[in-house]
Amino acid sequence: MKKTRGSFLECSAPQSFLSIQYTCRRDFPQVDLCNHRPPLMAFASSSSSIVLSKCEFDVFVSFRGADTRHDFTSHLVKYLRGKGIDVFSDAKLRGGEYISLLFDRIEQSKMSIVVFSEDYANSWWCLEEVGKIMQRRKEFNHGVLPIFYKVSKSDVSNQTGSFEAVFQSPTKIFNGDEQKIEELKVALKTASNIRGFVYPENSSEPDFLDEIVKNTFRMLNELSPCVIPDDLPGIESRSKELEKLLMFDNDECVRVVGVLGMTGIGKTTVADIVYKQNFQRFDGYEFLEDIEDNSKRYGLPYLYQKLLHKLLDGENVDVRAQGRPENFLRNKKLFIVLDNVTEEKQIEYLIGKKNVYRQGSRIVIITRDKKLLQKNADATYVVPRLNDREAMELFCLQVFGNHYPTEEFVDLSNDFVCYAKGLPLALKLLGKGLLTHDINYWKKKLEFLQVNPDKELQKELKSSYKALDDDQKSVFLDIACFFRSEKADFVSSILKSDDIDAKDVMRELEEKCLVTISYDRIEMHDLLHAMGKEIGKEKSIRKAGERRRLWNHKDIRDILEHNTGTECVRGIFLNMSEVRRIKLFPAAFTMLSKLKFLKFHSSHCSQWCDNDHIFQCSKVPDHFPDELVYLHWQGYPYDCLPSDFDPKELVDLSLRYSHIKQLWEDEKNTESLRWVDLGQSKDLLNLSGLSRAKNLERLDLEGCTSLDLLGSVKQMNELIYLNLRDCTSLESLPKGFKIKSLKTLILSGCLKLKDFHIISESIESLHLEGTAIERVVEHIESLHSLILLNLKNCEKLKYLPNDLYKLKSLQELVLSGCSALESLPPIKEKMECLEILLMDGTSIKQTPEMSCLSNLKICSFCRPVIDDSTG
């Protein structure tokens, strides 16, 4: 038998977590052995239904107080406590309580440590203990770790030396009970043959105790390994991902890993599983729960002291006197988890710098703020939402106690799972609320949730909102109430002000896991969206006109019909499909002096019906607030905007399907405008009022059939997108019209347009289908960025430019329906980008030179039908 430090023969065990509370017992007071000795077998074992996982304690310590109470055993107890183990103390037990509690404690423990010492066998209680312990080992896999403290293993096994005397007088001690004597002898022999520790006479006791504690952990892990709960679907894969990032097998570095995600996504749960499975690898460890809440309650100094106390094995460390942790922690490999970190100073105060820690140490920072991890973490694990299968399993486990819903609840279960959108917290709370209720209650609850968010869930989610500053709160509520799913660049422009750089604030909200920005779209979880709208309702303010954000049609109607608005109102979004008529008060907008966002739209129809005159007002409103940044009025019923409206703050103007003839008679300060949509405004005659819109990027005039002049467009040097589709009165583009930045030009359906000239060399998409042009410009090679050239159904088109082959970026050329076009110009050079060439419906007789079109993927070519019949 190979021995190491105290002659312990080691056996490996899985690295897993145990919920630890140890019990320890010393010798009981001397009693009359004849009168108070309970028979060994009289203490019946627990029912076989009791399993290790249900044990109240982990370790029972059997020892002879006279031998080791004040030295070795007390040191062992201290080491156990230093490793975070709660040691049972019997100091308050008295008299007969010992008899009733002693064997209960053994039965309630997963394992026992038996300290065999010189006088151990002379205690009748100790012998009874070891007998009971070995009985539990045989019947219930009770773990046993023997320690031979200054005694020989052979003396214990063979009952020789100091273990001999008690068995030489069996009549006096055991009343001549030969069966009991044999049972105790077998118990001692069996215990001595279990791999354990032999006290080293000439070695360090602290090292010896370290080995005992480590192997106690290993035995407990083997007896009761940490099994990932089956009531947490998806947790195993997530914990493995986090473990990969922590790189536990690499002892050559100190590694800090962040765990990031929105409230309720399961950050703490994932980190907790990983902690419980791996903490025993380390010399010191601590999981500091809910830093945000506990730092407010007790202060960071208290938490820091608590952390050091745990990491330093319970030593009383005065931080103010001794200084920073580098004075204490350099010689220990540590595992520290900080839960719910919300501020940089919490990390700085509790953790400090990485270089104060021994290599191999690991630190986990759980937070919903990405910014805190940018400087402090080597890697970040973003906890994902549950997928549909995982979400259904978690929900069903909460409600039905298994992984699948009962047949009658299948559809409703799907609805609730869909509502939660993969958020574990929501699934748990919803499941808890539905437990034991019938199907009618489920239906009513689901209907309620369509209008009102779950109160308990909202309470949990609001913690992330409350942690925001005022600017962040304002931007978050604007997005939740008005601008979710819009383009991020658009939203940042709309919300920008002299005091707020909305782009920076939106980035901060993304870092705090309250919004996501992907492909330039700003989104948020459905439940955060519901929370934001619930907060935005400001139910505590009784008068609608004094609330900041309005979208309820009843509230808005009251304001517009009775002029009850105030300067408190920041935004109004009215879905006009919810109302039939609004008798607009002429001065309704006068009191709304701080209004920034105004939108009237219909969710039921993207177009506008002329018969739907929602607003009843005989004249143009008297006033529009000068602070308007965003004005959308689908079907605007008047022929112009209020004359005194100063649009100096206006960024986005949309009057689609309006009756407007011109915006203003006079020129206005429109330099802030970036987007204008007057599409389908069939009465629009000109663009007066926009000549100073030099920062305009997008202009949509589709379907403005009365528009024949574009003079104001000349000054729009930042214009990127110009849509003139179906402007049937437009005959030509202004001469000298040049816009350097223009990338998309749509002239499709301009039936009177006979002449086209290049207005920008930056154009990428050029749509001329259905126009009356006879030829494209003579020299087109200057359009070096052109990707799409659409000439479909240009029935009068006869010629294409000879330098067409020089369009090296061209990917798609559409000539379908150009019936007068008889030939393609020679393709003298390779057009490697061209993938689509459509020539069906033309009069072209000869196929193009395909050797120069090596990447062509789609080509349509229909030769004209030739009648070769002879009479």
Q: Write out the DSSP string of 84-147.
A: T--EE--TT--TTHHHHHHHHHHHTEEEEEEEE-TTGGG-HHHHHHHHHHHHHHHHH--EEEEE
Residue 614 sits at φ, ψ, to 5 deg, of -65, -45
As to burial, measured by CB atoms within 10 angstroms (0-12 exposed, 13-18 middle, 19+ buried), residue 552 is middle
- The CATH homologous superfamily for domain 22-223 is Toll/interleukin-1 receptor homology (TIR) domain (3.40.50.10140)
> Residue range 577-586: average pLDDT?
85
Which residue from 338, 397, 402, 323 is spatially nearest to 372, judged by alpha carbons?
338
Q: Which residues are catalytic?
A: 129
CB environment 175-187: b (16+ within 10 A), e (fewer): eebeebbebbbeb
The span from the CA of 481 to the CA of 534, in Å, is 9
Q: In this predicted structure, what is the pLDDT of residue 214? A: 80
Taking 80 as the threshold, does the pLDDT of residue 256 lie above it? yes
> Residue range 451-476: average pLDDT?
93
Taking 80 as the threshold, does the pLDDT of residue 69 lie above it? no
**What's the pTM value of the predicted model, to 2 decimals?**
0.76
Q: Which residue has the tokens 């394992």?
A: 111
Taking 60 as the threshold, does the pLDDT of residue 643 lie above it? yes
The span from the CA of 580 to the CA of 786, in Å, is 47
The span from the CA of 218 to the CA of 16, in Å, is 9
Taking 50 as the threshold, does the pLDDT of residue 563 lie above it? yes
For residue 46, name the pLDDT band (cuts at 50, 70, 90).
very low
Percentage of residues in the chain having pLDDT higher than 70: 86
Check if the beta carbon of residue 232 is closer than 8 Å to that of residue 394. yes
- The CATH homologous superfamily for domain 731-871 is Ribonuclease Inhibitor (3.80.10.10)
For residue range 283-341, list pLDDT tens digits in order: 889 999 999 999 999 999 999 989 988 887 655 555 554 555 566 678 789 999 999 99
The span from the CA of 513 to the CA of 264, in Å, is 11
Tell whether domain 388-451 is in CATH 1.10.8.
yes
Q: Give how far Cα 36 sits from Cα of 32, 39, 737, Å.
A: 6, 10, 113
Taking 70 as the threshold, does the pLDDT of residue 731 lie above it? yes
**Spatial CB neighbours of 509, under 8 Å, sequence gap ≥ 6:** 468, 472, 475, 476, 479, 515
The amino acid occupying position 362 is R
Average pLDDT, rounded, for the chain: 85
Q: In this predicted structure, what is the pLDDT of residue 43? A: 30
Residue 386 sits at φ, ψ, to 5 deg, of -70, 140
Q: In this predicted structure, what is the pLDDT of residue 323? A: 53
Q: Report domain extents, the chain.
A: 22-223, 235-382, 388-451, 458-536, 731-871
Fold match flag (22-223 vs 235-382): yes
Q: In this predicted structure, what is the pLDDT of residue 111? A: 87
The span from the CA of 398 to the CA of 695, in Å, is 56
Taking 90 as the threshold, does the pLDDT of residue 584 lie above it? no
For residue range 103-155, list pLDDT tens digits in order: 888 888 888 999 999 999 988 888 888 999 999 998 888 899 999 999 999 99
The 8-class DSSP code of residue 811 comes to: -
Q: In this predicted structure, what is the pLDDT of residue 76? A: 85
Q: Which residue has the tokens 């809440």?
A: 293
Q: Which two tokens stand for residue 257?
A: 């890993």
> What dihedral do alpha carbons 238, 241, 245, 247 form, nearest 10°?
110
Q: In this predicted structure, what is the pLDDT of residue 553? A: 92
CATH no. of 235-382: 3.40.50.300
Q: Give how far Cα 726 sits from Cα of 274, 770, 791, Å.
A: 63, 9, 15
CATH no. of 458-536: 1.10.10.10
CB environment 654-672: b (16+ within 10 A), e (fewer): bbbbbbbebbbeeebebeb
**What is 409-474 written as a DSSP string?**
GHHHHHHHHHHHTT-HHHHHHHHHHHTT--HHHHHHHHHHHHHS--HHHHHHHHHHHHTS-HHHHH
The span from the CA of 66 to the CA of 68, in Å, is 6
For residue range 650-697, list pLDDT tens digits in order: 999 999 999 999 998 888 999 999 999 999 999 999 998 898 999 999
